[in-house]
Structure 1
Amino acid sequence: MEILESAKFAKLADDYLDVEELRELRLVLAMNPEAGVVVPASGGCRKLRWRGRGRGKRGGYRVIYFYRSRPEQIWLLTMYAKNETENISAAILKRWKQEIES
């Protein structure tokens, strides 16, 4: 399983996660690439709740990613703290997914 990061995700992950937390996130997704809920009308992008440092699952982060089964890849697109952003529109997610596939 290849796990790739968008530039946006890499920058945000540096702000939000330490090395061990990022490693754990990547491992969880590699073991269960369909762990996140599919965002309706996004073209298959998924949203995963991820606990933050001392924040718990509900107060943690949302990781947006796209799982492509052939070739087997996970694209980590972005992440955000729940208290900073409620949702990202499906249209934006769909556009990001299309950029990956081109």
Structure 2
Amino acid sequence: MSKEDLTTIVSRALTDETYRAQLLSDPEKALADYKLDDAEKKMLRNLPADAFDEMTMDLEDRQSKSGFLGGLSLMGGKDAVDASTVLDLLTNKYGGR
């Protein structure tokens, strides 16, 4: 698994509406520049349209409960979250390995 590539893809989709739309409508093109295995590609291709809205709410909920700010900033400033939290949400909720 390419943790770095998955983190980049998810953070980009959370912060860039154009990329998010492309990932949902044409995942092959959106993922072309990343080194992902077949399971990762399948997981990202099968994300429902509301996945990133749900993921944002889940991250905000976890962040508010833990009070944790730091590590990796996906959306900057007050929305900083840990990369492992993002990948855990993605794989647990939408299927990873």
The TM-score bracket by the shorter chain reads 0.3 to 0.5
TM-score, with length taken from structure 2: 0.32
Task: Tell me which protein shows more helix as a share of its residues.
Answer: 2
| TM-score for both structures, normalised by structure 1 | 0.31
